[in-house]
Chains A and B, each alone.
Chain A
Amino acid sequence: MRHSWVLIGVALLLTSCGLSFSDKVAAGRVPQMFPDYTDITLPVNIAPLNFSVEGADALRLEIEGRASHLFKANGSEMRFPMKRWKQLMAAEAGDTLCLSLSARFGKETVRYAPFHWVVSADSIDHYMSYRLIEPAYEVWNVLSVEERDLESFRTRLLADNTRTEGTCINCHTANRGGQSQVSFMHVRGKKGGTLYSRDGKMRKLNTATDSTAGAAVYGEISADGRYGIFTTADIRPILHSGRHDKLEVFDASSDLILLDFEAGTVTDSPLTKGAAFQETFPCWSADGKTIYFCRASARPQPEETFDMHYDLCAVGFDPETGRMGDSLTTVVNAAAIGKSISFPKCSPDGKYILMTVSDYGTFPIWHSETDLWLYEIATGKISTLETVNGKYSDSYHSWNSDGHWICWASKRDDRLYGRPYFAHVSPDGTVSKPFVLPQKDPDHYLMTLKSFNIPELYRFPESYDASFVRDFYRDMKAEQMTYRP
C-alpha cells in the first residue's frame, strides 16, 4: 500500500512538472527556436547553444550522434549544463548530430522536424571582443568594450567610457596569426591616445603628427606586431531622409598612414595620400608584404555621396625597410559593378579576402543592403555568400586566427541592433549557415538595448581591463610618434 502511494506520487510529480511527451503532435516544421540554431556548423569548443521556444511549457531535445543524448527543460528555455555540454562536444567532435526537439504548450506537445549540427573539430579562437553601444547614430553616451570567453559565458570589461570622461572608445583589434598577441584600441578625448598592447606591456601613443591629417582611425597591426596600417579621416555623419537607410557617414578626406611601433614613426606614401582619391580600411596580407585598402575618386560630399564607389586596391610593402611600394593595383573594380567595398580582411592562410559590399559610400553598417563577399586571391573569383548574408547589414567582420571561422556584426534580426554571428569556412571556401554568439540567457538579445559592434576574434586574453584603461586615460603620458617622410 505504501509503495502504491509512492508510485502515485512519482507519477503525479512527473506529469505535473511537464516532462511527459507521450501525446506528440507531428508538426513536421522547423523549430521556432530563438536564436535559430538549426542546421549549423559549430566549433567544438563553443559555449552551450542555449535557446528558447516562445510560449513553451517544457522542452525535450534528443541528440543522436555517436551516442544518444537527452536534454530536458521545464519552461521555454533550454539551458545546457556546462559539464554535459562539454562532454557532448568532446564526444561528438567531427560528427554530424541529428537533433529532435519537442515542445509542450499546455496539453499539446509539438515535435518539430529534425535538424542537424555539424560539430567541427576546428576550434574557434578562445576570446572575442566587441563594443556595446546604443545604435544612436553618430553619438554615444555610455559605451563599453567587453571581452567574451567563447568557451563559456564569462565576460570581462576591457573599457568603459564612464571611467574616461565619456569619450569614444573603439576598434579593439589584435594581430591575427602572430605568435605573441599584439593589439590596439583607440581611446579618444582630450587625454586619449592609441593603446598599444604587446606582451603585457602597454603604451599610449599619439599617432597624430603635423604632417599627417589627424590620428589613426581604422586599421590593422601586422602579424609580427611591428607595423600598423591605418586611415586618417575627416569623418562626417549625416542623416538619410528616406525610409530605408538611417545614417550615412562620409569622409571629407582620407589617407593612409603607416605606423612603425618600434621606431615610433608615422610615414605615408604619395600613392595613398592627396586630395584626388580617398583611401580607407587598410589591411595586411597574410604574409605582410601587401597592403589592401579601399579607394575611390574624391567627389564633393554629401552632394555626390550616392556616387562614391570604393574599389579594392593593393600596394606592396617591404617589412625590411618599412616602405610601401611604388605602384598600385586595383584588385576589384567595384565601381564598374555599381558597388562599394569596405573593411577588407585577409584570411590568415592568405587565400581569401573577406569584404563588405554595399551600393555606395564608406559606412556600410547602416546600409541595409550591405553583404559580405569572399574574394579568392589566387583566382580572382568572388563568392557573394548568399547563404551567409542576412536581410539587413552584415559588416565589420573578423577572421579566426587559423582562418576556419569568421565572425561579424549582423543586423539581420531587426535592422537596428548588431549581433555577433559566426560561420565556418571550409578549405574550399564554402561558408556554413551562420549562428549568433550564444548567451547564457537565450532571450538576452531580445531584451538588450545595446548593439554589438566590431566583434573581433583572438586567442589570448587581453592583458588589461577597464581599470587600467581608466588610468591609461587619466594618468599615462602619451608617446608622440614622429613623422618620417
Chain B
Amino acid sequence: MSLRADRNRSILPVTLWFVALWAFFQFAFPYHLALKERYVLFLSDATWLSTYFQKPAPLSYITGDWLTQFFLIPSAAALLVTALLILFWDGIRLILKPLGSKHPALWALLPTAVLAFLILFPEVPLAVLTGACFFAWLFAAAVRIRSRALRLGTFLLLLALLIPTARSLTPTARLSRISLEREYDYRIYFNACAGHWDRVEKMGLRNPHESVVTAYYYNLSQARADHLPDGLLKAYQPTWHGLFIPVREGVECFRLMASADALILSGDYAQAQHSAMLGMTFSPRQRSAAMLRTMSDIAFANGDYDTARRYLKMLSHTALYKRWAQEGLRLLDTEAGNLTLKNDCRDILVQHNDYRTSLANIAATASQGKTATDYLLCLDLLDKNLGNFREDYDTLYKGRYDRQTVPVLYQEALLMTFDENTSPADQLTEYRIARQTLDNITEFLKGNEGLFRKSYWFYYKYAQPAR
C-alpha cells in the first residue's frame, strides 16, 4: 500500500485517537499530570544540568524535566503529553513501515495507548515519554540505513543504549493509584496552591468521595478565613484526620507535601519544615521546586535567612518560580532587618505528629495563636475528647478570643461539658451560650436529631472512626 493511501485511510482514526487522548488528559485526569510538576526541579544552570549526566538517560530526563515544569500552567500538561505521544507515534509508524506492516499508522497507535496509561501515574517521569520519542526516532532512522551490516550494528548499539535507559527511567517510587477520587484530591490541592480558596471551599462541601485530603483542604479554607469552628461540620469530617495529615513511613509523597500546609497555617513551622523536607526527600528523585518554595517560606517565617537565600538562589534558575524567587532575594537584600518573624513560640521538644502538644504550645506562647487554638479545639472535638476540649478552652480560648460571639460549635460542645453541681444559669452566662443553642439541644434531646445533622451533638453521637 502506498504511503499516501495508508495516510488517507488512517488519518481519521489517528486524528480521532489523539483528540480523544487530549480530551482524556485535559478533562478527565489533568491533575494526575499536573502533579508531576511537584516532583521535578529543573534549574537552567550548567552545574545543575551536569548532575543529569551522572546517571543514564540524561537527555530524556533533561527534556522531560524541562517540559514538566510547564505543567504548572493549566492545559499545558495535556497539550504537551499529547504532542509527545504524536511524536512517538510517528516514530513507531516510520519504524513499522519499512518492515512491511500493512497499516503502520494504525498499529503504531497501540504503543501510544500503553504510554498514555503509564504517563498518568504521577510518579512516572515525563522522561519516559521523551526517552520513548528519542528511541522511536533513532530506530526509525536506523531502519532506513541501506547497508545491512551497518543497520544491524546500529540496531545493536541502540539496543545497548535502550536497556540502561529503560532501567533508569523505571520509577523506583511506589506508584499511586489512578482514580477519580485521587483526581479530585489533586484538583483541590492545586486550587489551594493557586489560592482559589472559594473553589476549595465549594469542592470541600461536595467531597463526593468522602476523601480525607479533600476534607483537609476544606478545613484549611475555613481556617484561612478564621471560620474553622463555624465551617467544620458543614462538610464531611473523617474525624480528626481532616485537620492534619500524619507523616509516617509509607505515606505517599503527595500527602507528605500536602501535610505541610495546615502546619504552616497553624504556625507549627517545626513540623511543617519536617513535612516539606520529607516531601522532597521522598519525591521520586528527591527534587521538588514546590517543596523548595515551601521551605523558603518556612525559612522566612523562622528568620533563617541564610537557608532562605540558598533555596531562593536555586529557584531563581527555574522558569516559573524565578520571579517569585528574585522578589524574595530582593527582600533579603533590602529588608531582612524589617521582616516579621512568624515563628515566635516557646521552644519545646515535640514528637512528630504530636499535634496536640505542639498546638497547645503555639496557642499559649505565640503572638499569633488564634488559628492554632482553633485547630487545637477542633482536634479535641473531632477526636470526641470533651475533657481535653474543656481544659484547652478554659486555658487558651476563654478570656482571649470569646469576647465576641462564641462559635456555635464550641457552644454546643461546652454544653456537653457543663458541671452538674454548678448552677446552669451561671455557666450559660460564663460561657456566653446563646439562647438558640440551648433551645436546639432541648430539641435534639427530645429526639429531633434529624434537624441537627450539622451539630456537634449529632457528630458526637454518630461519627465513626475514619477509614
Q: Decide whether A and B assemble into one complex.
A: yes
Assembly CA distance A392 to B43 (angstroms)? 27
Interface with A: B20-28, B116-124, B271-279, B407-415, which one?
B271-279
Assembly CA distance A137 to B277 (angstroms)? 8
Does any Cβ of A come within 8 Å of B434's Cβ?
no
Most buried by B among A238, A248, A444: A238
Does any Cβ of B come within 8 Å of A70's Cβ?
no
Interface with A: B141-149, B205-213, B341-349, which one?
B341-349
Which one of A135, A414, A443 lies within 8 Å of B45 (CB-CB)? A443
Does any Cβ of B come within 8 Å of A139's Cβ?
yes
Interface residues on B, range: 35 or more
Assembly CA distance A1 to B43 (angstroms)? 49
Shortest B66–chain A CB gap in Å is 16
Task: Please tell me if the beta carbons of A446 and B286 are within 8 angstroms of each other in the complex.
Answer: no
Q: If the complex has contacts A391-B306, A447-B48, A447-B314, are A242 and B347 also in contact, measured as CB distance less than 8 A?
A: yes
Task: Please tell me if the beta carbons of A447 and B43 are within 8 angstroms of each other in the complex.
Answer: yes
Does any Cβ of A come within 8 Å of B309's Cβ?
yes
Give the chain B neighbours of A449 by CB distance below 8 A: 280, 286-287
Contact with A along B263-306 (1 / 0, CB 8 A): 00000111101100110111000110000000000000111101
Give the chain A neighbours of B358 by CB distance below 8 A: 241
Assembly CA distance A134 to B313 (angstroms)? 18
Shortest A239–chain B CB gap in Å is 5
Does any Cβ of A come within 8 Å of B361's Cβ?
yes
Chain A residues numbered 415-464 whose CB sits less than 8 Å from any CB in chain B: 415-417, 441, 443-444, 446-449
Which one of B47, B281, B306, B343 lies within 8 Å of A242 (CB-CB)? B343
Assembly CA distance A416 to B273 (angstroms)? 12
Give the chain A neighbours of B361 by CB distance below 8 A: 241
Chain B residues numbered 41-64 whose CB sits less than 8 Å from any CB in chain A: 43, 45-48, 50-51
Task: Please tell me if the beta carbons of A241 and B350 are within 8 angstroms of each other in the complex.
Answer: yes
Q: If the complex has contacts A137-B277, A391-B306, are A239 and B271 also in contact, measured as CB distance less than 8 A?
A: yes
Task: Please tell me if the beta carbons of A241 and B345 are within 8 angstroms of each other in the complex.
Answer: yes
Task: Please tell me if the beta carbons of A305 and B349 are within 8 angstroms of each other in the complex.
Answer: yes
Dominant secondary structure of chain A at its interface with chain B: loop
Task: Please tell me if the beta carbons of A243 and B310 are within 8 angstroms of each other in the complex.
Answer: no
Contact with B along A169-206 (1 / 0, CB 8 A): 00000000000000000000000000000000000000
Assembly CA distance A242 to B350 (angstroms)? 10
Give the chain B neighbours of A239 by CB distance below 8 A: 270-271, 274, 349-352
Assembly CA distance A392 to B304 (angstroms)? 11
Give the chain A neighbours of B274 by CB distance below 8 A: 137, 239, 246
Assembly CA distance A415 to B46 (angstroms)? 25
Which one of B307, B314, B341 lies within 8 Å of A446 (CB-CB)? B314
Does any Cβ of B come within 8 Å of A95's Cβ?
no
Shortest A282–chain B CB gap in Å is 26
Which one of A136, A414, A441, A448 lies within 8 Å of B277 (CB-CB)? A136
Task: Please tell me if the beta carbons of B313 and A446 are within 8 angstroms of each other in the complex.
Answer: yes
Assembly CA distance A136 to B346 (angstroms)? 23
Does any Cβ of A come within 8 Å of B235's Cβ?
no
Assembly CA distance A244 to B45 (angstroms)? 31
Does any Cβ of A come within 8 Å of B362's Cβ?
yes
Task: Please tell me if the beta carbons of B281 and A136 are within 8 angstroms of each other in the complex.
Answer: yes
Task: Please tell me if the beta carbons of A414 and B280 are within 8 angstroms of each other in the complex.
Answer: no
Give the chain B neighbours of A134 by CB distance below 8 A: 277, 280-281, 286
Assembly CA distance A136 to B347 (angstroms)? 20
Q: If the complex has contacts A135-B277, A239-B270, are A447 and B47 also in contact, measured as CB distance less than 8 A?
A: yes
Give the chain B neighbours of A447 by CB distance below 8 A: 43, 45, 47-48, 51, 314
Give the chain A neighbours of B341 by CB distance below 8 A: 243
Does any Cβ of B come within 8 Å of A413's Cβ?
yes
Task: Please tell me if the beta carbons of A416 and B307 are within 8 angstroms of each other in the complex.
Answer: yes
Q: Which residue of A lies closest to B362 (CB)?
A: A241
Does any Cβ of A come within 8 Å of B417's Cβ?
no
Give the chain A neighbours of B309 by CB distance below 8 A: 414
Does any Cβ of B come within 8 Å of A302's Cβ?
yes
Assembly CA distance A444 to B348 (angstroms)? 36
Does any Cβ of A come within 8 Å of B427's Cβ?
no
Give the chain A neighbours of B350 by CB distance below 8 A: 238-241
Query: A243-B302, A243-B347, A413-B310 known; 4 other A-B pairs, CB under 8 Å?
Result: A241-B270, A243-B344, A246-B273, A414-B309
Question: Which B residues lie at the A interface, using CB under 8 A?
Answer: 43, 45-48, 50-51, 172, 249, 268-271, 273-274, 277-278, 280-282, 286-287, 301-304, 306-307, 309-310, 313-314, 341, 343-352, 358, 361-362
29 cross-chain CB contacts under 8 A: A134-B277, A134-B280, A136-B281, A139-B281, A140-B281, A141-B286, A238-B349, A238-B351, A239-B270, A239-B274, A241-B345, A241-B347, A241-B348, A241-B358, A242-B348, A243-B302, A243-B304, A243-B347, A244-B347, A246-B274, A413-B306, A414-B309, A415-B304, A416-B304, A416-B307, A441-B47, A441-B50, A449-B280, A449-B287
Question: Which A residues lie at the B interface, using CB under 8 A?
Answer: 134-137, 139-142, 162, 238-246, 248, 302, 305, 391-392, 413-417, 441, 443-444, 446-449
